[in-house]
């Protein structure tokens, strides 16, 4: 009879070890170890399931078993761990589950219960293995969760996400606006051991300046005018899950300091509160700015930069992955058709060729919105260049009229110059009062702050 799986038993009691091994050998291949060091060595033989006693030498305390559980989870994230304990205090078993164990049972052990638990653990391991195979298959094809692409740049990004997802490392996602930084963070969350926990997203630049601290860390009743009730912040809401903090570079210096303290102490203190609140989160931060330049300029804390920059994932702009354009257009067209109950559109080769010449300052987000608009507004089955907005016709004319590289100005650069001129003129007309200039331009304070920083005004 072929064994249904490989089970490693780690227990310092030789009689119990023999009993467990004898019970399991009828169905499984069994590996044995009598201490944590020998148990960790069994990782080389790639067991599917570990049965780990919590109380082992040299300290004969439950900490020894917990340390081994952590080692197994770090080195073999897909292995399934079941802990055994003779402790009467349930908190040790529960702590083992929090550390990454799949299940636990108390000694003395009933053979029928043992077989049931191991069978369940092996079934979980099988599902995890199949899910990993499916993810690898998706990686080899054209999509990766909600991320789409077959270009070399995207394949490298997918591989990097797989490498770091199972850890708790803080990740900094760098990329231009509209490239899909939140999709990267969701992919990290869905492939992590926190996937059953909450995913909480917050945009630093979209938060009202006076309420950023309250939004992130919460507040107590009466902490400020309008605080009629206590409220948890995003850190608390993301407990045992993932917190995605977009536009981290826009945070003011006091909030940066409090963010650093929260990450280092794993505790937050609400605005108006006096007691620290433990939080267990994995932080994924994102920015479209050059944070190193901000650090050099003294507007972003160097210690916070290195704290959030454990691993950096870079999302390429659309202009660097133009080979993905046809696939993206096809995907967005099918998505828009399903969402709005319309027949899917086809895009002519000449239309896609114009797309390749467009600067795509809004990146994939801009493309998705354009395809959705065309799906709604174009009556014909095939989208042609005649259906595109005027900017595409102007871009095509400019490209056709250029006899050499550098003739004329790229559309993206021209738009940026025009935008900077508008903001600078508004500030000059307002006597240097940026709040008045923002009102004249129809911008809120955060948008104005972003544009001034972007153009050095």
Helix 349-357 × helix 325-340 angle, to 10°: 110
Indicate the average pLDDT of the chain: 84
pLDDT by residue (tens digit) across 91-126?
Answer: 777 888 877 788 888 878 888 888 888 888 888 888
List, edge to edge, every strand of the sheet that includes 6-10.
29-33, 6-10, 49-53, 80-85, 103-106
CATH superfamily of 141-316: P-loop containing nucleotide triphosphate hydrolases (3.40.50.300)
Cα–Cα nearest to 270, from 241, 228, 236: 236
Q: How many residues does the chain have?
A: 457
Predicted pLDDT at 308: 94
Q: Residue 431 — pLDDT band, cuts 50, 70, 90?
A: low
pLDDT by residue (tens digit) across 264-323?
Answer: 999 999 988 888 999 999 999 999 999 999 999 999 999 999 999 999 999 999 999 999
Q: Residue 137 — pLDDT band, cuts 50, 70, 90?
A: low
- For every residue of 184-202, DSSP letters joined together read HHHHHHHTSTTTTS-EEEE
Composition of the chain by helix, strand, coil, percent to 5 = 55, 15, 30
Residue 414 has pLDDT above 70, yes or no: no
**Residue % of the chain over a pLDDT of 70:** 89
Class of residue 76 by CB neighbours under 10 A (exposed 0-12, middle 13-18, buried 19+):
middle
Residue 425 has pLDDT above 80, yes or no: no
Instruction: Report the distance separating Cα 324 and Cα 169, nearest Å.
Output: 29
**399 vs 130 pLDDT, higher one:** 130
Residue 411 has pLDDT above 80, yes or no: no
Instruction: Report the distance separating Cα 53 and Cα 9, nearest Å.
Output: 8
Residue 76 has pLDDT above 70, yes or no: yes
Residue 59 has pLDDT above 80, yes or no: no
Instruction: Report the distance separating Cα 355 and Cα 349, nearest Å.
Output: 10
Residue 398 has pLDDT above 60, yes or no: no
DSSP 8-state code for residue 107: S
Residue 400 has pLDDT above 50, yes or no: no
Instruction: Report the distance separating Cα 144 and Cα 159, nearest Å.
Output: 10
Predicted pLDDT at 415: 65
- Whole-model pTM: value is 0.58
Mean local confidence (pLDDT), 425-431: 72
What is 319-401's CATH number, 3.40.50.300, 3.30.56.10, 3.30.390.50, 1.10.8.60? 1.10.8.60
Residue 136 has pLDDT above 80, yes or no: no
Q: What is the β-pairing status of strands 6-10 and 171-174?
A: unpaired
List, edge to edge, every strand of the sheet that includes 281-287.
199-203, 241-246, 281-287, 171-174, 311-314
pLDDT by residue (tens digit) across 48-58?
Answer: 999 998 888 77
Domain 6-134 class?
Answer: alpha beta
Predicted pLDDT at 334: 87
CA triple 361-392-388, angle to 5 deg: 110
Cα–Cα nearest to 131, from 78, 199, 69, 183: 78
Residue 407 has pLDDT above 50, yes or no: no
Mean local confidence (pLDDT), 147-151: 89
Predicted pLDDT at 93: 75
């Amino acid at each position: 009879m072929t064994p249904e799986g490989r089970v490693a038993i780690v227990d310092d009691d030789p009689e119990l070890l023999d009993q467990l091994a004898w019970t399991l050998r009828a169905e499984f291949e069994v590996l044995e170890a009598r201490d944590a060091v020998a148990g960790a060595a069994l990782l080389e033989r790639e067991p599917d399931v570990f049965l780990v006693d919590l109380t082992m030498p040299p300290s004969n305390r439950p900490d020894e078993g917990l340390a081994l559980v952590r080692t197994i989870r770090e080195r073999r994230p897909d292995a399934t761990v079941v802990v055994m304990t003779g402790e009467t205090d349930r908190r040790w078993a529960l702590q083992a589950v929090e550390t990454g164990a799949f299940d636990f049972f108390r000694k003395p052990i009933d053979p029928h219960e043992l077989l049931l638990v191991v069978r369940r653990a092996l079934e979980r391991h099988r599902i995890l293995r199949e899910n990993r195979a499916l993810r690898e298959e998706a990686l080899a094809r054209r999509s990766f969760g909600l991320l789409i692409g077959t270009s070399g740049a995207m394949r490298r990004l997918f591989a990097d996400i797989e490498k770091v997802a199972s850890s708790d490392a803080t990740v900094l996602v760098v990329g231009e606006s509209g490239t899909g930084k939140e999709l990267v963070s969701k992919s990290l969350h869905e492939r992590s051991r926190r996937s059953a926990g909450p995913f909480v997203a917050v945009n630093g630049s979209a938060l009202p300046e006076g309420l950023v601290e309250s939004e992130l860390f919460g507040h107590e009743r009466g902490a400020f005018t309008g605080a009629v009730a206590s409220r948890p912040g995003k850190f608390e809401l993301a407990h045992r899950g993932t917190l995605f903090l977009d536009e981290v570079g826009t945070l003011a210096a006091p909030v940066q300091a409090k963010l650093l303290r929260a990450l280092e102490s794993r505790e937050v203190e609400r605005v108006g509160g006096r007691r620290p609140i433990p939080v267990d989160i994995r932080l994924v931060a994102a920015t479209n700015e050059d944070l190193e330049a901000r650090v050099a300029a003294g507007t972003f804390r160097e210690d916070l930069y290195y704290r959030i920059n454990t691993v950096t994932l870079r999302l390429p702009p659309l202009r660097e992955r133009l080979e993905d354009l046809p696939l993206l257009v096809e995907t967005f067209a099918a998505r828009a058709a399903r969402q709005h109950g319309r027949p899917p559109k086809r895009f002519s080769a000449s239309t896609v060729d114009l797309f390749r010449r467009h600067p795509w300052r809004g990146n994939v987000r801009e493309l998705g919105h354009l395809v959705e608009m065309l799906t709604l507004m174009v009556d014909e089955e095939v989208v042609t260049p005649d259906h595109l907005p005027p900017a595409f016709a102007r871009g095509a004319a400019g490209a056709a009229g250029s006899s050499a590289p550098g003739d004329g100005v790229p559309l993206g650069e021209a738009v940026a110059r025009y935008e900077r001129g508008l903001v600078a003129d508004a500030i000059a007309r307002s006597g240097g009062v940026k709040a008045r200039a923002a009102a004249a331009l129809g911008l809120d304070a955060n948008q104005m702050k972003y544009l001034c920083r972007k153009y050095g005004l």
